[in-house]
Amino acid sequence: MGVFDSVGTLLADIANLITDGQRILSFSDKRHWGQDEREQERALDAVLDEARKDFQELGPLVNGRSQYEHDRRHDSIEELRAIRAKFQALTEKLKDWSRSGGPIDPTWVRETQSLKRELHRAQCRAAMRVFTSAREASQLCLGAYIVQRQQRAPLRNSRTGDKPDEGSYQRYYAEELLACKSVGTFQRFGEQDIAFVCDFCDGHLVWEDLERMPTVRTSTQASPPGSSNAPVSLLPNASNWQATGVTHCGQHQKQVIFAPVAIANHIVPRHGDWEARLRCPLCEAIGEQPQDEDDDEEAYRPDEEFDDVKSLQEHLEWQHGPSKLPIPLPTSAATESNCRIM
Ligand SMILES: [Zn+2]
Ligand SMILES: [Zn+2]
């Protein structure tokens, strides 16, 4: 331990501490166990499972596991050392408990669960630092990249000529949202807004005046010009970026950016900023295609960044033309009064 700490060695230390805790519990006399002891055991298992899963999944995303494992960026090392110290303290408490006997302290379960969350976020941020250091100044977040990958997955997996049915679309949307929830959290923001907070960059994306986040795109019919039968709605150049939401007071329907579209295009906030900026996926897609000479270059600026979800939406509405959306019918959502965010 010490000067040679790397992300890999610190994670190994932490895993060993968790294993020590598991061992202490497994050697204790289970005949005296109650609910709290069983929950503590489950909580330790869960931390270790998630930490392993994160480690296995994040490595390949940042140019290979060894780069992640051997990384020694100051912030990552400091964060993981602090977490290691907390696991050390927890393991000590478990040791004392096994010596003195009696019921386990039920607050340790909550402590373990919050350490699980801390460790998850520390791993996300550590991977993100490796990811962004390999890129130019204005960077797509690793969290955004993970959601993009999910959005492109159905296209990769579909055979040519397959036209997805409505059920497939619903499944794609659910998978996109699931990918979003694996990289951050939706939460109520102020009285009326909903924010998505990214685990990787801590960037916030804010949807103003929204009762709860819509879970499907408004239209599965819209497709970009020249598209094949592939599930184009899921490409980053999808023209159906909209979803139908309800204002916070529940009175009016409105079109918002479908959450995964924004999340898949967010940029790491500048130092000191809390809000993540965004790129326009449609401009980006157009920018990647060969341009005709008589193209209206004014309209498409692949490098342009938007300060927030609202300005990206304004841009999409103004620059990418009126969409051929069906008029949404009033739904029961408009009259529901429950306050669930999703
Ligand atoms: Zn992010
Ligand atoms: Zn654009």
Task: Copy the structure tokens of residue 11.
Answer: 């994670």
91: amino acid identity, one letter: T
**Nearest ligand by distance to the CA of 300:** 2
Question: Which stretch of 38-47, 89-98, 275-284 has the lowest confidence by average pLDDT?
Answer: 275-284
For residue 83, give every residue at least 6 positions away whose Cβ sits within 8 Å of its Cβ, in sequence order, or none. Answer: 14, 115, 118, 119, 122
202 and 237 housed in the same domain: yes
Q: Which residue has the higher pLDDT, 245 or 329?
A: 245
pLDDT for 155: 64
**pLDDT for residue 232 is more than 80:** no
39 and 151 housed in the same domain: no
**Nearest ligand by distance to the CA of 287:** 2
Give the span between the Cα atoms of 180 and 191, in whole angstroms.
23
For residue 240, give every residue at least 6 positions away whose Cβ sits within 8 Å of its Cβ, in sequence order, or none. Answer: 217, 218, 219, 220, 221, 222, 223, 233, 258, 323
Of 133, 154, 185, the last residue of a domain is 133
**pLDDT for residue 327 is more than 60:** no
Instruction: Please indicate, yes or no, if residue 342 is contained in any of the structural domains.
Output: no
149 and 101 housed in the same domain: no
**Interval between CA 286 and ligand 2 midpoint (Å):** 9
Ligand 1 (ion): which residues have CB within 5 A?
141, 143, 198, 200-201, 203
Instruction: Please indicate, yes or no, if residue 166 is contained in any of the structural domains.
Output: yes
Residue 337 backbone dihedrals phi, psi, to 5 degrees? -110, 5
Of 81, 109, 133, the last residue of a domain is 133
**Interval between CA 76 and ligand 2 midpoint (Å):** 35
Instruction: Please indicate, yes or no, if residue 78 is contained in any of the structural domains.
Output: yes
Any idea which residue has 């990384």 for tokens? 71
Task: Copy the structure tokens of residue 144.
Answer: 């955004």
Give the span between the Cα atoms of 255 and 257, in whole angstroms.
7
pLDDT for 296: 54
192 and 120 housed in the same domain: no
Instruction: Please indicate, yes or no, if residue 339 is contained in any of the structural domains.
Output: no
For residue 62, give every residue at least 6 positions away whose Cβ sits within 8 Å of its Cβ, in sequence order, or none. Answer: 68, 127, 130, 131, 134, 142
Instruction: Please indicate, yes or no, if residue 285 is contained in any of the structural domains.
Output: yes
**Interval between CA 271 and ligand 1 midpoint (Å):** 13
157 and 53 housed in the same domain: no
Instruction: Please indicate, yes or no, if residue 341 is contained in any of the structural domains.
Output: no
| Residue-averaged pLDDT of the chain | 84
**Interval between CA 21 and ligand 1 midpoint (Å):** 33
**Nearest ligand by distance to the CA of 285:** 2
Of 88, 110, 133, the last residue of a domain is 133
Residue 275: strand pairing partners: 204
CA neighbor of 94 nearest in space, from 73, 108, 110: 108
280 and 147 housed in the same domain: yes
pLDDT for 159: 56
Residue 59 backbone dihedrals phi, psi, to 5 degrees? -50, -55
Q: How many domains does the chain have?
A: 2
pLDDT for 172: 86
240 and 171 housed in the same domain: yes
pLDDT for 325: 45
**Interval between CA 149 and ligand 1 midpoint (Å):** 14
Give the span between the Cα atoms of 7 and 96, in whole angstroms.
29
pLDDT digits (tens, 9 = 90+) for 170-193: 888 889 999 999 999 999 999 999
202 and 327 housed in the same domain: yes
**pLDDT for residue 319 is more than 60:** yes
pLDDT for 337: 43
Instruction: Please indicate, yes or no, if residue 224 is contained in any of the structural domains.
Output: yes
Q: Which residue has the higher pLDDT, 9 or 66?
A: 9
Question: Which stretch of 63-67, 155-159, 224-228 has the lowest confidence by average pLDDT?
Answer: 224-228
78 and 173 housed in the same domain: no
pLDDT digits (tens, 9 = 90+) for 58-100: 999 887 888 899 999 999 999 999 999 999 999 999 999 999 9
Instruction: Please indicate, yes or no, if residue 73 is contained in any of the structural domains.
Output: yes
Residue 206 backbone dihedrals phi, psi, to 5 degrees? -115, 125
56 and 86 housed in the same domain: yes
**253, 244 Cβ separation under 8 angstroms:** yes
50 and 180 housed in the same domain: no
166 and 84 housed in the same domain: no
pLDDT for 168: 81
11 lies in which domain range?
A: 7-133
